[in-house]
Chain A
Amino acid sequence: MAEEQGRKWDRCLADSAVKLATGLGVGIVFSVLFFKRRTWPVVFGLGVGLGMGYSNCQQDFRSPYLLHGHMVKEQ
């Protein structure tokens, strides 16, 4: 259990890095292709990537506390 935190952080950071890079890449692509090499899609992509990574990280950290409801069918 103590290591879980560490593991989570590792995962989180790795995932965030990946997302960031991916965002950057997609941003660059969009910027080059559709938006006339403006900066903002890149920044937008970075932001999207960061946001996704953050969200995933949070979700991962929250996972033990999340309640999952089940529909109980009457038999």
Chain B
Amino acid sequence: MLRVCLKGANSAARKCLCGNGVPLHPLQQCRSYTSGGSGSSAGKIVAASVLTMGGGVGGTILYANWDPKFRANVEKSIPYSDQVFGLALGPAAPPPVINKPRKVEPVQISSMSEVWKDSKQPKAKEVQRKAEQPDAEGPPAPAPQETLEGEACVFVAMILSAEQNVLSVFCIPLAAAKCTECEHEPAVKERPEGEVAARLAEQDKAEQDLLTSLSSNLEDALGSTAKVTLQAIGAQEAALQAIAQHTRQLREAMEAEAPPDKKSTQWRVLEDALSERSRSVDEAGAAVLKAKAELDKLRGVIDGAKHLKIAAARPSILAAEENLHSMVVDLDSVVTRVQTAQSEAKIVSQYSELVNEAKAQFQKELNSITPEIQANWKGLTGKLTQDDLNSLIAHAHRRIDQLNRELAEQRVREQIHIDSALEQQKLEDKKALEVAISTALEHNREQMRLEQEKKVEETREVMEAEMRTQLRRQAAAHTDHLRDVLKVQEQELRSEAEEILNSSLMEKETEYRRLTQDQLDSFTLDMNAAYARLKGMEEAIDSHVIAEEEARKAHQLWLSVEALNYTLKTAALNDPTEPLEGAVQAIKESCAEDEFAQALATALPSESLSRGVYSEASLRARFYTIRQLARRVALIDETRNSLYQYFLSYLQAMLLFEKAQEAPPAKLSAEDLDTFKLLSYAAYSLEHGDLELAAKLVNQLKGESRRVAQDWLKEARLTLETKQVVSLLSAYANAVGLGTTMAP
């Protein structure tokens, strides 16, 4: 082609240059032109190719720099490109690993545990803090424990203690005790009501007893003290009276100027009065002491009663205290009265003493001056002389002067004495005042205390009443609640009982039903069994009849199948058998009801019916010609089917020698599918009478050999089918016959 082109080019060149008339040079020129052209064009080609190569490589590198996936692809596909890329661009960036979700889980778990720990810590802190409080308050609360129960109990105790700061310490040990109970027992038992009531009743009784004893004690004490005090007061009054009497009498004696014998009687009366007075004063004193002792005793009793702290006894105690106070007051007043009276009496007695003394003094002086004048000088008017009178008057004047002087002196002294006495009196008054004030204060204080106590008592009463009402209300609420709860419980229990009743009733019913059903079932079973047996017997008889019928039919079938078999044997060497139609028709008539036989009869290929089938021997004979032919066209198939291939195939058949017969293996491998081998296997199996295997092997031929063997195969198939059907039929007939003969 190239030579032609070149020749064409040369001739064209020659022609165009022939016109110019230079024959030889253009050839050379042309040659040099073409060679030069070819030389420069080669260089150009080389340059262009180098340029494209470089451009391609550079472009690849640039794109790989931009797109890492492309780079990875190129590295995978082209062996040393990763080194090149490494040199040019540096190492590839590693792909980002996505494992965040994995890490989230452990974080979560740890956070959960932390949260739980955190939540536990404040709890522990709280527990600690609250644990301190009860320690400060009362007995130590149980230490915070690990179990939830303990904690709850502790919490309860804490809360209780925290809330019950106002309440007495009594409660906390109770809560703690209760908590300890909770630890040991799952539920705190409430003391039974009867016990509580009994306890309360006991307490009440004890109180009552105490109260009665106390009141009786108080009353006794009061009574005795009152009596004694009254006695004392009476005595004091008597003393007062006596003192007053005595004082009066004394004064009378002082002032009255009675004749001597009256005076002596007076004096005697005075002495009696004095003695009376002293006696009564002593008595009064003793009575006062006794009264005071009794009062102290009463006070002691009252204090004792106070210590018992029974609320109900308070009013009586208060009353007793009041009585005591009043008695004390009366006693004191009386005592003060007696004392004043006594002081007055003392003054009067002092005055009387003074007067007596003065009188005695005067008497003595008079006696000293006028010894003969006697005491009763009032009736002495006629006996005295003028001298005596003058001396007496002088004495009297002197006495008057003296007395005046004395009087003045006395006045001054009196003044002083008065002052001092006043002062003393002031002091004494002050003292007495103080004493009186103190006693009054005491009395007042006592009074106020008593009033306060009374008020307290009243408020207490009021509070008690209110508390009682509240308690009554609470009790009422409690009873209501109890009633409700009881009602609910009753409902529940009732419903439960009903349920149980219903369920047990239903159980019994179902039991009964089951039993009846069982009875029924067993009866039905018996009946069914009897019926079944009857039926069985009837069926047996029927089946006998049927069996005989079947036997007859089977015999017929068998005969017809035998006929068919016989027809198969009528094949001549190279001709097919007679057409099987007649025999098949006979079969079909003989077994009109038998579906299986009908199906089989119709399963025979139509060709065998109309034309008949070839025998095995004829097929075997035909096979050899087929074999030859197949060998000859072994190389021909769809792709190779030119005449040249035919020639080659013929050559092969001539030159290739295979075994005439070879035993086919159990499994065909790929190399066994060679035409020649297959044909030798088929020949072997045919010689050994296995038409089926031969047909299978021939079926494995491919291409032209297959086409050539096609009608032999068809014939072989027909024969095989017919034979199969016939053998099935005969087997069936035999089986049926056997079956019928074996029937009961």
Contact = CB atoms under 8 A, between A and B. Distances in A.
Contact of A5 (B629, B642, B643, B711): B629
A54 B646 CA distance: 12
B537 to A, nearest CB: 66
A32 to B, nearest CB: 32
Interface in B617-635: 625-626, 629, 632-633
Interface residues of B, number: 18
Contact of B712 (A2, A54, A58, A61): A2
A65 B637 CA distance: 8
B556 interface: no
Interface in A8-67: 54, 57-58, 61-62, 64-65
Nearest to A53: B643
Given A2-B626, A2-B629, A61 B708 contact: no
A1 to B, nearest CB: 4
A10 to B, nearest CB: 14
B290 to A, nearest CB: 154
A61 B632 CA distance: 14
A58 B643 CA distance: 6
B641 A5 contact: no
B707 interface: yes
Interface string B94-134: 00000000000000000000000000000000000000000
A58 B708 contact: no
Contacts of A65: 637-638, 641
Interface of A is mostly: helix
Nearest to A54: B643
B709 interface: yes
B547 to A, nearest CB: 52
A55 to B, nearest CB: 9
Given A64-B707, A65-B638, A2 B625 contact: yes
Contact of A1 (B636, B638, B646, B710): B710
The listed residue with most B CB atoms (<10 A of its CB), out of A4, A5, A57, A58, is A5
Contacts of B625: 2
A66 to B, nearest CB: 9
B643 A57 contact: yes
A72 B437 CA distance: 151
Given A54-B643, A57-B643, A5 B708 contact: yes
A61 B707 contact: no
Given A61-B641, A61-B643, A61-B646, A1 B709 contact: yes
Contacts of B629: 2, 5
B711 A2 contact: yes
Contact of B641 (A2, A54, A62): A62
A61 B646 CA distance: 9
Contacts of A2: 625-626, 629, 708-709, 711-712
Contacts of B709: 1-2
A58 B711 contact: no
A54 B643 CA distance: 8
A58 B710 contact: no
B614 to A, nearest CB: 14
A54 to B, nearest CB: 6
A24 to B, nearest CB: 21
A1 B633 contact: no
Contacts of B646: 61
Given A1-B710, A2-B625, A2-B708, A58 B642 contact: yes
Interface string B489-504: 0000000000000000
Nearest to A65: B638
A5 B646 CA distance: 11
Interface in B697-721: 707-712
Contacts of A5: 629, 632-633, 708
B697 to A, nearest CB: 17
A58 B636 CA distance: 12
A47 to B, nearest CB: 16
Nearest to B646: A61
A1 B711 contact: yes
B708 A1 contact: yes
A65 B625 CA distance: 23
Interface in B624-662: 625-626, 629, 632-633, 636-638, 641-643, 646
Given A5-B633, A61-B636, 6 more contacts: A2-B625, A2-B629, A2-B708, A2-B709, A2-B712, A61-B643
13 contacts: A1-B707, A2-B708, A2-B711, A2-B712, A5-B632, A5-B633, A5-B708, A58-B641, A58-B643, A61-B641, A62-B642, A65-B637, A65-B641
Interface of A: 1-2, 4-5, 54, 57-58, 61-62, 64-65
Interface of B: 625-626, 629, 632-633, 636-638, 641-643, 646, 707-712
